[in-house]
Chains A and B, each alone.
Chain A
Amino acid sequence: DAGVTQSPTHLIKTRGQQVTLRCSPKSGHDTVSWYQQALGQGPQFIFQYYEEEERQRGNFPDRFSGHQFPNYSSELNVNALLLGDSALYLCASSRGEGQGYGFNQPQHFGDGTRLSIL
């Protein structure tokens, strides 16, 4: 059973460009969350998708957007890249609460996409 897969694993972009990161959730999971992890820091919540809609959002600008597809996979888009966007981007999947699975379902993380901005 494949876990959460993210692509690409590494990416180098220049300031002002746009980037799309992809995530396939663990089988049976319908909720996808994205996190940004700067070097030496804990992950910071960007947003969460459930039923193809953005349900929750952290303190990130509109340059960060996303999408969830009917097969539950997800994309994270970042426009007008800044040097400060250099980070590890993590995707986590889980079962949506209130769907009969109970609360506090563990979130399963992928190993991330390392984005470097030059």
Chain B
Amino acid sequence: DAKTTQPNSMESNEEEPVHLPCNHSTISGTDYIHWYRQLPSQGPEYVIHGLTSNVNNRMASLAIAEDRKSSTLILHRATLRDAAVYYCILRAYSGAGSYQLTFGKGTKLSVIP
């Protein structure tokens, strides 16, 4: 699987925007970029995914570089509930069923009140 690189940790003030970067320089043309987050004492939670175009949903926005070698997850107004570990994942599809997720260590986001 193509690898991703994320900062170990980031801090943000509450109610300010947060930009979480991810580098994936070896991404292939068919790799989708997925983001999941894991709140303390919970299982991971799907956030957003994309292929080439920028994507928006109720939780976040995903900005993908034109060469697809990097992407940025944008939380428009951080809340205390957004404090979590954020994982950037390139999905590998292997046939019938669903895809497997290859998690790295992610970025631990702290939100300061």
Residues of chain A touching chain B, judged by Cβ–Cβ distance below 8 Å, are: 4, 31, 33, 35, 41-45, 48-51, 55-56, 58, 90, 92, 94-98, 103-112
Give me 8 A-to-B residue pairs in the complex whose CB atoms sit less than 8 angstroms apart, sorted by A's number.
A33-B101, A50-B96, A56-B95, A103-B93, A106-B49, A107-B98, A108-B46, A110-B43
Size range of the interface on B?
A: 20 to 34
Whether A45 contacts B93 by the Cβ 8 Å rule is no
Q: A42-B87, A104-B32, A111-B41 are in contact. Are A31 and B101 (CB under 8 A)?
A: no
Whether A43 contacts B103 by the Cβ 8 Å rule is yes
Q: How far is the CA of A109 from the CA of B36 in the complex (A)?
A: 10
> Measured between C-beta atoms, what is the minimum distance from A22 to chain B in Å?
15
Whether B98 contacts A31 by the Cβ 8 Å rule is yes
Interface positions, chain B 69-86, Cβ under 8 Å from A, are: 85
